[in-house]
A and B are shown apart, each in its own frame.
Chain A
Amino acid sequence: MTYVLLQNYWWILIALLGGLLVALMFVQGANLHLGNRSLSDTQKRMILNSTGRKWELTFTTLVTFGGAFFASFPLFYSTSFGGAYWVWVLLLITFVFQAVAYEFQNKKENLLGVQSFRVALMANGLLAPFLVGTAVGTFFTGSDFTVNKVAITDPSAPVISTWGNAWHGLEALGQYHAVLLGCTVMFLAAILGSLYILNNVDDEHIQAQMRRSVKLSIGPFLFFFLSWTVILLVRQGYAVNPEGVIYMEPFKYLHNLLAMPAVLVMLLVGVVLVLISLWQGAFSASRKGIWFAMPGTVLVVMSVFFLAGFNDTAYYPSCTDLQSSLTLDNSCSSYFTLKVMTFVSCLIPFVVAYIAYAWYQMDRKKITAQEIESTPDKY
């Protein structure tokens, strides 16, 4: 195993975890329906208990995504998390509230009342996909940071990665291209959520509402996704030459797409799968759209990561100091760490298998109003 091979392998795993994270954000999207006034309290609890059986998977994927990024590309962890401080803190706070909202909201001792925790879940439902999407959007627009490894020899300012402005990440909200991706992911999560509930809950009114929600989301989703993609393909990008010097290249991401036909195929297959799921959710009688939307999402997100990092591209560029930009090679862990973790990663199929088995066992029967009203095992 060469060092470059290991770096690429870990970028594929990071992309996979990123793809799974976005696909599993159906939890966030579905929780938006807790604010739907046409649903009764029982119907809202059906949705709550449906996502309540899955939210920990999404949450754990986020944590593992962070942990794997830390382990394989630690300079990204130190630069982005320590630099874009407010973005990550905001994201974490919405997840912290999500973590307790399920267990607390229907307990009478919860001090804040059921409505507050539902609002917390909806805030997480909007902000988490939006912030994650915008953060990934900066993989293409660049951020305001400097990396100087000699800094540690200077006692007065020893920090290697420093952010250039006091907004600490919030300035990304002013980069319209990154924000377009944020909005895309937000609407995608809403669509995934509706498709998931459509599949998982047996209730005619809820199902009609889910189909309506998919219909309403198609327009904005396609608008944001297509505008983001078109701008991506025409914008200049951050390229790396064989000496590791970073330079701007016109149409870099279009070049990447054409240079890597496999990624082009992944992207197209992913997009087609998502389009099929949209049609199934909005215009057919099928309830299986989610089974197309999730793999489609994984493929599209992975191809976005590949466009950002492969084919001699800086995946986390600095627009302040071009040479500070992070590439797979200059930000990754040592050879031995990547190698050891590669052995550990062989356990991933086993993990996926038991998750799939447990999911199958738990979801054999769809959620019904009768179950929610009679079982004590619920949120």
Chain B
Amino acid sequence: MDVVIWSRIQFAMTAAYHWLFVPLTLGLALVMAVMETLYVVKKDEFWKKTAQFWIKLFAINFAVGIATGIILEFEFGTNWSNYSWMVGDMFGAPLAIEGILAFFMEATFFAVMFFGWNKVSPKFHLASTWLTGIGATISAYWILVANGWMQNPVGTTFNPDTVRSEMASAAAFWEVISNPVAVSKFCHSVTSGWVTGGIFVVGVSAWYLLKNRHSEFARKSLLVGAIVGLVGSGAVMLSGDSSGIHAAEFQPMKLAAAEGLEDGGNGAAFTIVPGIKVPHMLSLLATHDWNGFVPGINDILNGYTDHEGNVIPSVAEKMAMGREALDALAIYRSTEDPEIKAEALEQLNANVQYMGYGHLEKPEDVVPPVGVVFWAFRFMIGLGMLVALVLLLALFAVWKDKLADWKWLLWAAILCIPLAYLAGQCGWIVAEVGRQPWTIQGLLPVGVAISSLSAAAVQTTFIVFLAVFALFLVIEIRILIGAIKKGPEVEPLEA
């Protein structure tokens, strides 16, 4: 396998590991901040001890999120050298702002939250707990602005003198940070973290209830967790819907792959699983029109007219125009003759919007792995719905005071913890595998974004990172289980 594949595998692995720790950080942050607020408002020691227990689990998880996160940031440079230069002007700013605005907030107030119980006032401590979570959430916003830009690169122009995509104007920055793809991605990712945090708290509390330990602590924690998780589930569904509309608008190939849609058409049906379809549903979701045209994979390859009447060229035509742009760029960069330079520039500008396509070898390169995206999409939705259902039932059981009786529900809640993680991973697979071969949609394919390294070098670091992360994951799970078994210090064992 070549260096492109290894670079992708390494980045995907790092991102996937990072996303094992981030959702719990985002979700638990909200849960524990709510609990500590209850303590400060009600002045009830019970809530203090409860919050302290969940903060302890938060801290164990937080460390590994930091460890995987730093590797991700630097991999943009170490493994995606061309990418760093060619889009660094657009992509670097959100990353730097993330550091300045979010990371310092998280780092500073995490230390106060963790060590400060007996050092600062209860209100300052409460503020620190909230600020740790707010910092994590702001951080998610900026990195998803960066990611959203990769999916829908707004506000940029190609500069042949520097050979990169540049910020078109100071106002373009607002386009970048209010990019609709970024906004819905942020909402979708953060609230899916609330679901993960919610079901984690519900599941762990369910385990105490099954063991007949810490019953009051478990019931009240479960209630907070279920509410946070359900609010998250609702928001995940809404933002997921707008993510779908954005895919239809900006990344039709991703939508076609997620739907396994070979040939599109008017009034396209939504496939629930192969063989079961809802007529017209896909057109309605993607175009908000019962009979709107949704392109399939073959339409995109061969060219089509979209539901607004725009004629989209075939991939082969785009590749030819892209090749012309690249040839013109080569001439522009090598000649000193002002006339030839001007002519080359004109030819470049005429074709520049398809320049990324000029790097492709064959039209089929624009098709992502359909099977992977199709099934990841279904698992994401199916598992997400299942988790939401269990959260809803848990809330219902609290209301009817049936928690102790419905042992099956308690078991289901525990089982849903890994399922929520799986749903989150599937979500990122849809988002990232679904946009292959592009690092930047339409502008920069993965094969051109890389560093000049040997496959063996990247293979080596991949194996090292994989081993290190796997070790950390195993240790973290062991420590979490140990802390859960030990339990909160709220009341003596009841058993």
Report B-chain residues with C-beta under 8 Å of the C-beta of A364.
119
A104-B124 contact given A99-B67, A153-B326, A355-B108, CB 8 Å threshold:
no
Please tell me if the beta carbons of A96 and B70 are within 8 angstroms of each other in the complex. yes
Please tell me if the beta carbons of B97 and A161 are within 8 angstroms of each other in the complex. no
Among B36-44, B370-378, B401-409, B472-480, the stretch that binds chain A is: B472-480
Please tell me if the beta carbons of B63 and A99 are within 8 angstroms of each other in the complex. yes
- Whether A220 is near chain B, meaning CB under 8 Å from some CB there, is no
CB distance from A286 to the nearest CB of B (A): 25
- Whether B238 is near chain A, meaning CB under 8 Å from some CB there, is no
A102 to B71, alpha carbons, bound, how many Å? Answer: 18
- Whether B159 is near chain A, meaning CB under 8 Å from some CB there, is yes
Among A265-273, A312-320, A331-339, the stretch that binds chain B is: A331-339
Please tell me if the beta carbons of B333 and A149 are within 8 angstroms of each other in the complex. yes
CB distance from A81 to the nearest CB of B (A): 3
CB distance from B106 to the nearest CB of A (A): 8
Please tell me if the beta carbons of B104 and A92 are within 8 angstroms of each other in the complex. no
Contact of B482 among A92, A108, A334, A354 (CB under 8 A): A108
Contact of B66 among A54, A99, A365 (CB under 8 A): A99
How big is chain B's contact interface, by range? 35 or more
- Whether B447 is near chain A, meaning CB under 8 Å from some CB there, is yes
Name the CB-closest residue of B to A64: B99
Please tell me if the beta carbons of A340 and B170 are within 8 angstroms of each other in the complex. yes
Name the CB-closest residue of A to B448: A158
CB distance from B215 to the nearest CB of A (A): 23
Please tell me if the beta carbons of A96 and B67 are within 8 angstroms of each other in the complex. yes
Please tell me if the beta carbons of B170 and A336 are within 8 angstroms of each other in the complex. yes
- Whether A74 is near chain B, meaning CB under 8 Å from some CB there, is yes
Please tell me if the beta carbons of B85 and A75 are within 8 angstroms of each other in the complex. yes
A62 to B66, alpha carbons, bound, how many Å? Answer: 12
Please tell me if the beta carbons of A347 and B74 are within 8 angstroms of each other in the complex. no
Please tell me if the beta carbons of B74 and A88 are within 8 angstroms of each other in the complex. yes
Please tell me if the beta carbons of A355 and B104 are within 8 angstroms of each other in the complex. yes
CB distance from B451 to the nearest CB of A (A): 3
- Whether A162 is near chain B, meaning CB under 8 Å from some CB there, is yes
Please tell me if the beta carbons of A95 and B70 are within 8 angstroms of each other in the complex. yes
Please tell me if the beta carbons of A67 and B96 are within 8 angstroms of each other in the complex. yes
A294 to B443, alpha carbons, bound, how many Å? Answer: 45
- B17-62 interface (Cβ within 8 A of A): 59-60, 62
- Whether A230 is near chain B, meaning CB under 8 Å from some CB there, is no
Report A-chain residues with C-beta under 8 Å of the C-beta of B114.
377
- Whether B103 is near chain A, meaning CB under 8 Å from some CB there, is yes
Name the CB-closest residue of B to A56: B107
A-B contact pairs, 30 of them (CB 8 A): A60-B107, A64-B104, A68-B99, A70-B84, A74-B85, A74-B164, A75-B88, A77-B88, A78-B81, A78-B82, A81-B84, A82-B79, A82-B453, A107-B479, A149-B163, A152-B326, A157-B452, A158-B82, A158-B359, A159-B82, A160-B85, A160-B163, A333-B92, A334-B89, A334-B162, A337-B92, A344-B100, A351-B100, A358-B112, A361-B124
Point out residues on A near B: beta carbons under 8 Å. Answer: 49, 52-54, 56-57, 59-60, 62-64, 66-68, 70-72, 74-75, 77-83, 85-86, 88-89, 92-93, 95-97, 99-100, 102-104, 107-112, 149-150, 152-153, 155, 157-163, 166, 168, 333-334, 336-337, 339-341, 344-345, 347-348, 351, 354-355, 358, 361-362, 364-365, 375, 377-378
Point out residues on B near A: beta carbons under 8 Å. Answer: 59-60, 62-64, 66-71, 73-74, 76-86, 88-93, 95-101, 103-112, 114-120, 124, 128, 159, 162-164, 166-170, 172-173, 326-327, 329-330, 333-334, 359, 361, 447-448, 450-454, 457, 461, 464, 468, 471-472, 474-476, 478-479, 481-482
Which 6 A-B pairs rank lowest in CB-CB distance, beginning with the nearest?
Answer: A74-B88, A81-B77, A82-B81, A71-B92, A64-B99, A82-B451
